[in-house]
């Protein structure tokens, strides 16, 4: 047995769900002491650092099984991050693992088209009627960048409207009042983003139609981009009729409507949020669930728009690993599991988690928001309707709550501005375990 395999076996013998307070995470601490000298902040994506919840180092993971993560120190956690959304089937789902293994045996990358790409594209188009044609890429950021370029080319305009707290990847022009990790760090933008890159972006408050109407009247807008259900400021649903107004007013103004469904796509329903709210955008950005845990994203829309993309048209976009056979295999296997029964189960699990967290919070000022597959416990005494409301939450108490959950074997998002992701691998026992830990964690957080 090799050294790595031996260490894994030794850790497996000592697995624990974590003591009532304080975890021995010396293994994670040791790895992090090396990591900070090799990677910025010791991580490859900022929200993984856990600094926002007051931890000096993140938890380093060895493997995942179903709804659980197992760290390098042998502790088991109920995972409510699920790789920030892709793992709607849970960790190491057998059909996904088999599909990726089979694909790898035939080669990991070709730099040439495959029939599997065509079949996946056809499946997406069946699920999302507004997507008649799509282009596979490697990340949500890449998909956003490409969709915005296409919108500008199609309209001959430059201005893009986004909403405060909406995160659409680290595209230069959209890193203004963004949510997700950027909000967690308290950064209004980012050094290195030029004035020229940001000047064509207008930021409006989410869920307020009047500023949108004024912007569309005052500017030649190429596109309005939004998460149809905001999830990077925590889960904030659109107010009744808001998406309908977006659709109506952008069409009247000659602007395109772009839905960023990287999080909501194939999660809140078979056809994403646009199906749930019966509003069809011009362009859709997809990712996360689409790749089943491997790097895969896409942008798509009406044929007349997508045929502007090279080589069919003149809007250039390319990628060496786009449509990678391993990622396509994982995505195809994942979507195959997502039938009507799966979405009904996901809805019931989400409702149970949300109600259990409400019960655990009791009369404390915590508002739990949810849509199928997504939950956010806002440390706020009132419902959250926009980024200003999310920013007014008690971030220190959320941090204390998360630290207490980790001590009790629950792995939450290390940011108030991120959604908790429900998977089909979760069950009633996992939710009961979470609720019990949450009751103690709320007590710890509000005693601080």
**Domain that residue 104 falls in:** 94-336
Q: Are residues 161 and 18 in the same domain?
A: no
Q: Give Cα separations from 368 to 349, 365, 381, 419 (angstroms).
A: 14, 10, 10, 11
Same domain, 314 and 378: no
* One domain, residues 220 and 133: yes
| Full-model pTM | 0.90
Separation of alpha carbons 270 and 373, rounded Å: 12
Tell me whether residue 260 is one of the annotated catalytic residues: yes
Same domain as 294, residue 188: yes
Question: What confidence score (pLDDT) does residue 265 get?
Answer: 98
Question: Which of the listed residues 276, 310, 336 is the one where a domain comes to its end?
Answer: 336
Q: Are residues 188 and 267 in the same domain?
A: yes
Residue 167 bears catalytic tag: yes
Torsion of CA 311, 315, 320, 321, to 10 degrees: -100
Q: Which residue in 364, 366, 365 sits closest to 375, CA to CA? A: 366
Q: Cα separation of 324 and 113, whole Å?
A: 9
Say which residues have a Cβ less than 8 Å from residue 167's Cβ, sequence separation at least 6.
178, 179, 180, 181, 182, 183, 227, 232
Give the CATH number, domain containing residue 82: 3.90.1150.10
- Please, are residues 288 and 265 in contact by the beta-carbon 8 Å criterion? yes
Selecting among 73, 77, 177, 288, the annotated active-site residue is 288
136, 224: one domain: yes
212 and 313: one domain? yes
Q: Are residues 138 and 261 in the same domain?
A: yes
* Number of domains observed in the structure of the chain: 2
Q: What is the CATH number of the domain that holds 317?
A: 3.40.640.10
Active-site entry in 60, 73, 79, 167: 167
| CA gap 88, 295 in Å, rounded | 15
Is-contact 201 173, C-beta < 8 A?
Answer: yes
pLDDT at 167: 85
Closest by alpha carbon to 180, among 423, 421, 413?
413
The pLDDT, as a whole number, for residue 189 is 54
* pLDDT (tens place) for every residue of the chain, 448 residues total: 444 344 334 433 433 343 334 789 999 999 999 999 999 999 998 889 998 898 989 999 999 999 999 999 999 999 999 999 999 999 999 999 999 999 999 999 999 999 999 999 999 999 999 999 999 999 999 999 999 999 999 999 999 999 998 888 777 667 665 444 433 333 345 666 777 777 788 889 999 999 999 999 999 999 999 999 999 999 999 999 999 999 999 999 999 999 999 999 999 999 999 999 999 999 999 999 999 999 999 999 999 999 999 999 999 999 999 999 999 999 999 999 999 999 999 999 999 999 999 999 999 999 999 999 999 999 999 999 999 999 999 999 999 999 999 999 999 999 999 999 999 999 999 999 999 999 999 999 999 7
Active site residue 200: no
Cα separation, 368 vs 387, in Å, equals 16
| Domain stops at, among 298, 315, 336 | 336
Residues pairing with 136 in the sheet: 298
pLDDT of 200 reads 85
């Amino acid at each position: 047995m090799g050294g790595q395999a031996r260490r894994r076996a030794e850790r497996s013998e000592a697995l624990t769900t974590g003591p009532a307070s304080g975890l021995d995470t010396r293994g994670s601490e040791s790895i992090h002491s090396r990591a900070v000298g090799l990677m910025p902040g010791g991580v490859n994506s900022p929200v993984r650092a856990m600094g926002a919840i007051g931890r000096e180092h993140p938890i380093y993971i060895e493997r995942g099984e179903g709804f659980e993560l197992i760290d390098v120190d042998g502790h088991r956690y109920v995972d409510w991050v699920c790789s920030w959304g892709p793992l709607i089937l849970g960790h190491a789902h057998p059909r996904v693992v088999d599909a990726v293994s089979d694909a790898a045996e035939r080669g990991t990358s070709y730099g040439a088209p495959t029939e599997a790409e065509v079949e996946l594209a056809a499946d997406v188009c069946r699920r999302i009627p507004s997507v008649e044609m799509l282009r596979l890429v490697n990340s949500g950021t890449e998909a956003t960048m490409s969709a915005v370029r296409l919108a500008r080319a199609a309209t001959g305009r430059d201005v893009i409207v986004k909403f405060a707290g909406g995160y659409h990847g680290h595209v230069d022009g959209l890193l203004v009042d963004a949510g997700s990790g950027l909000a967690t760090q308290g950064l209004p933008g980012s050094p290195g983003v030029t004035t020229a890159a940001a000047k064509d972006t207008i930021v409006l408050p989410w869920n307020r139609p009047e500023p949108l109407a004024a912007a569309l009247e005052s500017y030649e807008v190429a596109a309005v981009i939004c998460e149809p259900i905001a999830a990077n400021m925590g889960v904030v649903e659109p107010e009744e009729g808001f998406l309908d107004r977006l659709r109506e007013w952008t069409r009247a103004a000659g602007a395109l409507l772009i839905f960023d469904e990287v999080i909501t796509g194939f999660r809140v329903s078979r056809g994403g949020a646009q199906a749930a709210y019966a509003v069809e955008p011009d362009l859709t950005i997809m990712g996360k669930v689409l790749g089943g845990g491997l790097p895969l994203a896409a942008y798509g829309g009406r044929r007349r728009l997508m045929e502007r993309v090279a080589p069919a048209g003149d809007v250039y976009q390319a990628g060496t690993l786009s449509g990678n056979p391993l990622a396509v295999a994982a995505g195809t296997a994942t979507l195959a599991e997502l039938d009507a029964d799966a979405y009904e189960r996901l809805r019931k699990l989400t409702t149970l988690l949300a109600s259990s967290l409400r019960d655990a919070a009791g009369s404390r000022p915590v508002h739990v928001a949810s849509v199928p597959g997504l939950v956010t416990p806002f440390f706020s005494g009132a419902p959250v309707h926009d980024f200003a409301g999310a920013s007014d939450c008690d971030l220190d108490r959320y941090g204390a709550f998360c630290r207490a959950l980790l001590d009790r074997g629950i792995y939450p998002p290390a940011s108030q501005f991120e959604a908790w992701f429900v998977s089909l691998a979760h069950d009633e026992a996992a939710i009961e375990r979470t609720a019990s830990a949450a009751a103690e964690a709320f007590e710890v957080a509000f005693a601080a």
